[in-house]
Amino acid sequence: MTDKEIGRLLADVWMDVQQPAILWQAGVLVACMLIAHFGAQLLQWRAPEQSGETLKRGAAAFRRIVFPLLAMLLLIAGRALLSAWQSTNLLSVAIPLFGALAGIAFVVYLLRLAFSRGGWVDGFERAIVALVWTALALHLTGLLPEIVRWLSDVQFSAGTHKLSLWILLSAAFWLVVTLLLALWAGSALEAWLMRAPTLDSSLRAVFARLGKAALLVAAVLVVLPLLGVDLTVLSVFGGALGVGLGLGLQKIASNYVSGFIILLDRSIRIGDVITADHQHGVVTRITTRYVVVRSLTGVEAIIPNDTLVTTTVLNHSYTDTKVRLPLKLQVGYDTPIEQVLQLLVDIALRHERVLRDPAPTAHVLNLADNGIELELGFWISDPEEGSQNVRSDISVAVLGEFRARGIEIPVPQRDVRLVQGKAENESASPGSHAA
């Protein structure tokens, strides 16, 4: 439908409004909207929880477009019936408006899927649909040029440049559109990188973040010259940003730079068991500002990246996930050592988490005052599941075997001697000396 056809149609609608027969068209329009509303409520369909993601997305898209589609179909049928008695110009205008509403709702839903869940598009989905549909409705009704002319007449000066409300709104619109395209391209790039089997998970995260940042910067640099903004202004902003980084934002900038260093050199990866900043646990998330370490008690510590770069980090699974756990104990001097050492190895091998390669070993550490000091060493490959629980299980098993076999675990003994002295009081022999 061309602009001339739209203009003639609106002129015909204005002629119909002045006639009493317009009430029949208004009644048909209201009736179709009510029927479409209740019909959409009846046709609300949600995919079962066990269904696939594609089916769930299809059901969500259907819920968004069922009302405008029903309204458009009912209006087409109503116009066909009413056209036998009178003109139906009002219905002819309403039909493309409802069709446009269905198309816009579907496109915005696809835009929402392009971004991560919980993003800003989720909260503003209805507002975006209403805004785009309002602009299209103003265009179809011929009111948009008048509004543009009024916005262009409202002008003000900014330095040597003269600006109008229409220029500012156009700049904001194209900037938002360009940023949306950049974000969509960044999300597509991230999804593609996350599916790349040959790249390490840390490198995927680095390239995804760098790609998003580069696309956003490119979007801004492309759209600003098109709007008449001199890019040399950005040099002043860059200088101010550099001064801010050097003063107040130094620590924040250090964390971001350290985050990229960690992701690039892969010194810390998701799933590693580390000890840093008095925190011990599994690395569950790495961002450009901090690392999340989840302890075995479930408490999550957020450690800044700068701390991980400038301090010593104990990575228990840097090159290998295997961890050796020692268990120290004492036995009496009258204990057959060879049998006890073999018994300790057998007890360790009974545990399901203890590795057979490398095999557990038992050694004599020292001939102490109270007994013979022994050490049982064994390896596990899943330290993220906890190490103290394995050590506790084996300690309980050792106590049970020692008690069953009569093996003594000596305790410190002390001989206390109580010496009781008898005081002798020597009294002087009786006698008197005469003066």
Number of structural domains the chain divides into: 2
- Pairwise pLDDT comparison (242 vs 115), residue with the higher score: 242
Question: At residue 57, does pLDDT exceed 80?
Answer: no
- Residue 56: other Cβ atoms inside 10 A: 14
Largest CA distance in the chain: 165
Q: What is the pLDDT of residues 189-216, one digit of tens each?
A: 777 776 766 666 666 666 777 777 777 7
* pLDDT greater than 80 at residue 268: yes
Alpha-carbon distances, residue 411 vs 392, 408, 421 (angstroms): 20, 9, 32
pLDDT for res 341: 93
Which of these three, 80, 114, 142, is where a domain ends?
Answer: 142
Question: What's the whole-number average pLDDT of the chain?
Answer: 76
Residue 74 lies in a domain: yes
Give a three-class secondary structure readout of 382-408: CHHHCCHHHHHHHHHHHHHHHHHHCCC
Q: What is the pLDDT of residue 435?
A: 39
Q: Which of 2-6, 121-125, 255-259 has the lowest mean pLDDT?
A: 2-6
Q: What is the rounded CA–CA span in Å between residue 371 and residue 355?
A: 29
Residue 153, domain member (yes or no): no
Residue 429 lies in a domain: no
- List pLDDT tens digits, range 231-258: 665 666 666 666 665 666 677 778 878 8
Is the pLDDT at 2 greater than 60? The verdict is no
The residue among 142, 163, 183 that closes a domain is: 142
- pTM (predicted TM-score): 0.44
- pLDDT for the residue 351: 92
Q: What is the pLDDT of residues 297-309, one digit of tens each?
A: 788 999 998 888 8
381-394 pLDDT, tens digit per residue, is 888 787 888 999 99
Domain ranges, residue 23: 3-142
- 118 pLDDT band, cuts 50/70/90, is very low
Cis peptide before 20, with omega less than 30 degrees from 0?
Answer: no
Residue 225 lies in a domain: no
How many CB atoms are closer than 10 A to CB 64? 21
CATH assignment at residue 344: 3.30.70.100
* Final residue belonging to a domain, choices 142, 161, 191: 142
Range in 44-53, 230-239, 323-332, 404-413 with the lowest mean pLDDT: 44-53
Q: Is residue 389 part of a domain?
A: yes
Beta bridge partners of 161: 158
Q: How far apart are CA 362 and CA 326, in angstroms?
A: 10
Q: Please check whether residue 395 lies inside any domain of the structure.
A: yes
Residue 358 inside a domain? The answer is yes
Tell me which residue of 387, 383, 262, 385 sits closest to 320, measured CA to CA.
Answer: 383
Q: Which of 11-15, 182-186, 333-337 has the lowest mean pLDDT?
A: 11-15
Find all residues with CB under 8 Å of 35, minimum gap 6, and list them. Answer: 70, 74
| H or E element in which residue 314 lies | strand 314-315
